[in-house]
Structures are given as structure tokens and as C-alpha cells.
Amino acid sequence: MMRSFFITLGFCLISFLSFPQRNVDSILDTIETSEGPVILYKNFTWEFLQNEPVMMSSDDDSTGLFTHEWLNDQVFSYMGPNKRDSIKDTVLTLTTKDRNFTMPMIGKLFRGFTNTHKGLDIGLTKGDPVAAAFDGVVRYAKYNRGGFGNLVIIRHYNGLETYYAHLSKFRVQVNQLVHSGDIIGYGGSTGRSKSPHLHFEIRYKDVPLDPLRVLDFDNHKLYANNLPITKKFFFPSIYDGTAIYHKVRKGETLGRIAKKYRVSVKELCSLNRIKPSSHLKPGRSIRVK
């Protein structure tokens, strides 16, 4: 037991030498946790001991996806007054044999996507690990004064970007390669937040889309491996013909309506700005697509 401890400690001390930014003399001890080895400092601070991150080089970016419109100090990277015009009809591949999907946080969804709230708020306990949804490269990882607090933005290989806001601590840095499921930070309540939660967004060229149109939140998976992209997908209110409505009949519930149209109750609530417990009066029209 003691031999194993000293071997681990020796390994950690050797690892410290590969991180010149650390002051080895200030290190008090190291301990093993379920999340990996932790360094304890004499000033009562601590941090996780991580392997040296793999960074993206501009020479490795043959597609230009991680160099074009690539800003590390701004939340929104794509320039231009009308970003809607930059969206062209296409189909994005979300997962492949080698690229997976991971729910960033499994918790209670207490706020969905609306015209004024561009993502999902997922409940958590401060310090809970937050995972990268897809493989990609970290474009932004810093404190944001616009309300996000500690924010990580990852650009993925299909052009989507995911946002992870209100973190208590970062575990990645800009230009770092990450894989789906990698821990990119820890949950918190920084920025414009009243309680610990993860604010999660999905954007394409800075334009937000409702994550519940992509994620089967209740089952922690994607609805499909491919995502058709059109202007109508992002701006349904502009195209009246795309919206589908259902007239509520006597005795119908949100669950029954959701099952009929193969959507989630949470998605119905988000589309209609109602709660799962809301009473549906017969004759009322609610949007289902």
C-alpha cells in the first residue's frame, strides 16, 4: 500500500517537472480521487494533475474550420450583420463510427429554449463534472461578463459549436483538442445565475438552435445521426408554413400529444412556453413541430 503510494507520488512529482508554470516548492501533497490525481498547494489551493493537453496546430487544419472565423477572445466568432444569410441548406453528420455523442450533464431540465433563452438549463451540484458533447477543439474558455460566467465553447468537426456556461472551474484551454465525454469543466453558478446549473447551447455559425430538436433529453441520446440544416430549422417563426399545430381534444394530455407527434413533452413545453403541469383546455391549439 505504502509502496504504491510512493510510486504514485513519485510519478506525480516527475509529472510536475513537465509543467514549468507550476512552482514545485509550493506543492504540499498529492492525493488520488475518482477524477484523477489532485495537487495540494501550501496556500490551501488545489488543482487536478492532468496530462499535457493536445493542442490544435494551424498546420493540422486542412479544412480551415478551426482557423477561419476562429476567435479565442470573443463569444461570437462569425462576422456580419445578418448571420441568417450565411446559412446554406446542408446536412451535418453528428456522429460516426469514430466520433460519439455524450450528454454534457444528466440532470433535471428546468428551463428550455425560447426567444429570449437560447439554450437548456440543466440542474447540477456545484463541482459536478461537465462533459464535451462531441469531438472538437476548444475555441473559447474564459470568464464572460455578458452573463455566461465561466464559459467554454467547443467547435466540432461538422461546424456546430456547443456552449457550456456558468462553470465553477475550467479543465481545458483554448485550441485544445477534446473528445466526446472528456471533462471540460465543473458545474457552478458564475455569471448571471441564481443557482448552480449548466446552461447548454448548440449553435451553427453563431445562430442558436433548440437543443431539444437534436437531443432526446429523457433518454440521453441523439434523435438521429444526421441533422438537416435549413434557414427554416433556425427561424421557424419567419416561415409560417413550417409550423404544425394540434387542436386539443377533451381528455388529451401533453404526454399523449407528444407520443402522437413523436416529440418530447419538454419540446412541446418549450415550443408553447408552458409547463408540464399546465392544464390543456379543449379547443386550444398548441404547436407540435
Write the pLDDT tens digit of every residue in 118-143: 999 999 999 999 999 999 999 999 99
pLDDT at 221 over 80: yes
| 18-41 mean pLDDT | 67
Model confidence at 198, pLDDT cuts 50, 70, 90, reads very high
| CA 92 – CA 187 distance, rounded (Å) | 29
pLDDT over 90 percentage in the chain = 45
**Cβ-based burial of 100 (10 A; exposed 0-12, middle 13-18, buried ≥19):** middle
**How much helix, strand and coil, in percent to the nearest 5, is found in the chain?**
20, 30, 50
| CA 31 – CA 28 distance, rounded (Å) | 10
Give the C-alpha distances (Å, rounded to integers) separating 85 from 207, 232, 237: 11, 12, 16
- For residue 247, the SS3 value is strand
Backbone angles phi, psi at 170, to 5 degrees: -90, 150
pLDDT at position 44 is 73
Reported pTM: 0.68
Helix or strand holding residue 27 (H, E): strand 27-33
Give the C-alpha distances (Å, rounded to integers) separating 10 from 14, 23, 199: 6, 16, 39
pLDDT at position 235 is 65
Nearest Cα neighbor of 99 from 182, 170, 165, 164 is 182
Backbone angles phi, psi at 192, to 5 degrees: -85, 85
pLDDT at position 219 is 92
Chain position carrying cell 479543465: 171
Residue pair 78/156 in contact by the 8 Å Cβ criterion: no
C-alpha cell at 187: 458545474
Give the C-alpha distances (Å, rounded to integers) separating 272 from 47, 175, 198, 240: 44, 39, 23, 15
Residue pair 275/269 in contact by the 8 Å Cβ criterion: yes
Model confidence at 237, pLDDT cuts 50, 70, 90, reads low
pLDDT at position 49 is 66
In order of start, what are the domains of the chain with their CATH numbers? 2-48 (no CATH), 58-232 (2.70.70.10), 244-287 (3.10.350.10)
Of residues 110 and 154, more confidently modeled: 154
Nearest Cα neighbor of 129 from 41, 34, 61 is 34
Mean pLDDT of the chain: 83
